[in-house]
Structure formats: C-alpha cells, structure tokens
C-alpha cells in the first residue's frame, strides 16, 4: 500500500502541490488526472523522491520512503517518464537492463528478462535488441521506456503519460496489454494522464487534481455520477459527449 500524507511542494514563488493525502491499495491502479500545471507529475516524482517534498511524507507498506537512500528506493519503483529519456548511447537491450544490472542480477537472468519484456511491449527481441534509441519511432521508444520501468520486477510502478506519443490504434493495443500485464503481475501503479478516456479505461480509481490540490478521488463510475465540483463535472462531460456521438451513429 502506498500512502501519501499531507504532501506539499512549494517553490520560492509558487506552490505546486498543496496538502495532498491519498492511499493506493496493493494491486490497485490509481489515475492522477488533471490539466497541465495541476501538480500531478510533481506528486508522482515525490513518491520516488525525484522531487523531495517540502512537507508531508510518503509511506510504502508502512515505511517512510526517507528511510532508504534515494537510489535504493528508485531501483525498486519502476518509473516511466513522459519524455521517455532513453539513454542514446545504449542499445534497446542495455536501456531495459539498466536497473536489473544496478541491482546486480546475473547476465543470463538480465538477458532473459529483457527479451520477455520486449515481447511484452510487442518489440521482437531479435529485431530490436541491438538497435539504438535514435533508430526507433516515437511509439517504439515509449514502449522501450515502459519495458525499462518494469524491468527490475518492481511491485510499484509510476507512469507519467506513458502512451502520450502513440497513434490511437497502437495506444489502444498497448493500453489493453498494459492493463493485462498489470493485473497478471499484481502491480500497484500510479498513472498520470490528462486523457479522460485513458483514465476511465485503465483506472481502478481516479484522483482529480486542480491547481495543486486534490479535488476528488473515486471510481470512474463515482466520478461520472457524482462529480464533486464543476472542475470534475467539466472533465467528465467530454467522454460523455463522445459516447453520445458514437451512440447516435449506432442507433440511426
């Protein structure tokens, strides 16, 4: 279980996250939803201490994350970056293998894990293993980024818009396979997005953020039926309208 307790992040002239408390259950996928500047990425980075909170704390399975050295903590939490951040001087396989190697896995286990993960993200290992990131399309890079996040068999993964750069069809396919993988591995995940449809499709629960504050947390159904305020209601009108359009075409 991940517990965020009164998390704050203040900069000199601005507050990015204000007094945010949340719980994520074991095996649950929580969506952090909000517009740009709502503080969702900052919140995500405070969980693995890429950003240190100004106040409050994060507990994972009851232990304060500050008990561990930052790099130890991060080796056990998968992270998928919005800008992907593949290391350009390393091959696809080396990128995926980074964290397992830092953890001192033996070479055979690392190689096996890399191939399994490349298959999981639908990149045939023989074709892609030795490519350099600059030889991949944007979508392929994001898939490698995803594989890297899962590589060290973490129990918790943090994902920052991992499907942002994909075309709709690939995105849909990957979203579904991601959904499947996560269930299978029983991963606890926090997933940042500003895409409503993605939130509704993937999230066990959705936490809506606005201007650094948590507005509402609930299941997709609760958010659709009982939006806490206008921000949430507005966010929910768009998928509703899309659904109505599709409905209308189908009923004609």
Partner 1 sequence: MAEQLALLPGYLTAHLQLVLVSLLLGTAVSIPLGIFVTRRKSLEASVLGIASVIQTIPSLALLAIMVPALAAVSAVTASAFGVELRSIGYAPALVALSLYSILPILRNTVTGIAGVDASLIEAALGVGMTDRQRLLRVELPLAMPVIVAGVRTATVWVVGTATLSTPVGATSLGNYIFSGLQTRNTTAVLVGCIAAAGLAIVLDQLIRALEAAARRRRRSWLVATLAAIAALYAVTAASFAWDRLGSPERSVTIGSKTFTEQYILSEILAGRIASHAGAPTRAVQSLGSTVAFDALRSGDLDLYVDYDGTIWATIMKRDRLPSDRAEVTEAVRRFLQDEHGVTVIGSLGFENTYALGMRAARARALGIERIGQLPPVAANMEIGGDYEFFQRAEWASIQSAYGLAFGSERSMDSSLMYQAVARGEVDVISAFSTDGRIAAFDITLLEDDRGVIPPYAAIILASPKLAEEMPAVVAALEGLVGSIDANAMRRMNLAVDRDHRSPAHVAREFLHGLQD
Residues that bind partner 1 (CB under 8 A): 48, 50, 70-76, 79, 81, 83-89, 98-99, 102-103, 148, 152
What's the angle, vertex CA 208, arms to CA 10 and CA 15, rounded to 5? 10
In the complex, what is the shortest distance from the CB of residue 48 to partner 1, in angstroms, rounded to a whole number? 7
Nearer to partner 1, 155 or 204 (CB): 155
* Least Å from the CB of residue 122 to partner 1: 22
Q: Closer CB to partner 1, residue 148 or residue 205?
A: 148
Find the shortest distance in angstroms from Cβ 99 to partner 1.
5
Complex with partner 1: residue 72 or 229, whichever CB lies closer: 72
Residue nearer to partner 1 on the CB measure, 120 or 214: 120
Min separation Cβ 97 and partner 1, Å: 10
Least spacing, CB of residue 125 vs partner 1, in Å: 19
Q: Considering beta carbons, is residue 102 or 238 the nearer one to partner 1?
A: 102
State the SS3 of the chain: CEEEEEEEEECCCCEEEEEEEEEECCCCEEEEECCCCCCHHHHHHHHCCCCCCCEEEEEECCEEHHHCCHHHHHHCEEEECCCCCCCCCCCHHHHHHHHHHHCCCCHHHHHHHHHHHHHHCCCCHHHHCCCCHHHCCHHHHHHHHHHHHHCCCCCEEEEECCCCCCCHHHHHHHHHHHHHHHHHHCCEEEEEECCHHHHHHHCCEEEEEECCEEEEEECHHHHHHCCCCHHHHHHHHHHHHHHHHHHHHHHC
The nearer residue to partner 1, 46 or 206, going by C-beta atoms, is 46
To partner 1, the closest distance from the beta carbon of 81 in angstroms equals 6
What number of other Cβ atoms are within 10 A of residue 219's Cβ?
13
């Amino acid at each position: 279980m991940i517990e965020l307790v009164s998390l704050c992040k203040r900069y000199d002239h601005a507050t990015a996250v204000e007094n945010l408390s949340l719980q994520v259950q074991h095996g649950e996928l929580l969506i952090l939803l909000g517009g740009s500047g709502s503080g969702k990425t900052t919140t995500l980075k405070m969980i693995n201490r890429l950003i240190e909170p100004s106040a409050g704390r994060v507990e994972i399975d009851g232990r304060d994350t500050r008990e561990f050295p930052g790099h130890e903590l991060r080796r056990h939490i998968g992270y998928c970056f919005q800008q992907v951040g593949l290391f350009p001087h390393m091959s696809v396989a080396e990128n995926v293998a980074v964290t397992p190697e830092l953890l001192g896995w033996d070479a055979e286990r690392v190689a096996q894990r890399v191939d399994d993960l490349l298959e999981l993200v639908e990149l045939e290992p023989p074709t892609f293993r030795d490519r350099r990131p600059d030889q991949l399309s944007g979508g392929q890079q994001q898939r490698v980024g995803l594989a890297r996040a899962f590589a060290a068999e973490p129990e918790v993964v943090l994902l920052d818009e991992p499907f942002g750069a994909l075309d709709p069809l690939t995105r849909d396919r990957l979203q579904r396979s991601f959904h499947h993988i996560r269930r299978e591995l029983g991963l606890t995940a926090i997933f940042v997005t500003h895409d409503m449809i993605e939130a509704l499709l993937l999230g066990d629960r959705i936490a809506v953020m606005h201007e650094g504050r948590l507005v509402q947390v609930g299941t997709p159904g609760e958010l659709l039926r009982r939006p806490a305020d206008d921000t949430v209601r507005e966010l929910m009108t768009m998928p509703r309208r899309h659904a109505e359009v599709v409905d209308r075409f189908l009923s004609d």
